[in-house]
């Protein structure tokens, strides 16, 4: 039971160090304007943080929906998935 709780905690309580690790992986993959995302995540004021994150999401939405074409890449990223049946 303790192992199950530990897995749940790890899945739903991502700390800032872990987020930085994921952002570094995205940076290596050429993800756009990550400094803007890091700045939003570091914002202590919750309202400002939310506004900055929504702005970044809108930036990504515009990029995805733009008519500009990009080279196709297929990457498989590590999923944060928990299967309780794997504990038995």
SS (H, E, C) 7-75: HHHHHHCCCHHHHHHHHHHHHHCCCCCHHHHHHHHHCCCHHHHHHHHHHHHHHHHHHHHCCCCCCCCCC
Q: Is the pLDDT of residue 61 over 90?
A: yes
Whole-prediction pTM value? 0.61
The pLDDT score that the predictor gives to residue 88 is: 44
Which whole number is the average pLDDT over 46-69?
92
Tokens 């400002």 correspond to 48
Which whole number is the average pLDDT over 22-49?
85
For the chain, the domains span 2-66
Q: Is the pLDDT of residue 86 over 80?
A: no
Q: Of 71 and 77, which is predicted with more confidence?
A: 71
């Amino acid at each position: 039971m303790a192992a199950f709780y530990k897995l749940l905690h790890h899945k739903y309580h991502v700390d800032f160090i872990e987020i930085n690790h994921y952002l570094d992986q995205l940076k290596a993959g050429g993800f756009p304007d990550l400094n803007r995302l890091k700045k939003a995540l570091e914002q202590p004021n919750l309202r400002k943080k939310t506004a900055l994150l929504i702005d970044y999401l809108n930036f990504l939405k515009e990029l995805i929906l733009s008519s500009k074409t990009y080279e196709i890449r297929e990457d498989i990223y590590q999923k944060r998935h928990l299967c309780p049946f794997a504990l038995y």
